[in-house]
Structure 1
Amino acid sequence: MSICPYCQKEMDAGFDTCPHCGVTMTYLYKCNRCEQEFAATGILRFCPLCDADLTDQLN
Structure 2
Amino acid sequence: MVICPYCQKEIAGELDTCPHCGVTMIYFYQCHRCHQEIAATGILKFCPLCDANFSDQMN
**Could you state the TM-score of these two structures normalised by the residue count of structure 2?**
0.89
Paired residue for 1:9?
A: 9
Matched, 1:20 2:20: yes
What is the total number of aligned residue pairs between the two structures? 59
Paired residue for 2:56?
A: 56
Whole-angstrom CA distance in 1 between matches of 2:32 and 2:3: 28
> Any stretches of 5+ residues in structure 2 without a counterpart?
none
TM superposition shift of 1:11:
1.3
Runs of 4+ residues deviating >6 angstroms: none
Whole-angstrom CA distance in 2 between matches of 1:15 and 1:46: 18
Amino acid aligned to 2:23: V
> Any stretches of 5+ residues in structure 1 without a counterpart?
none
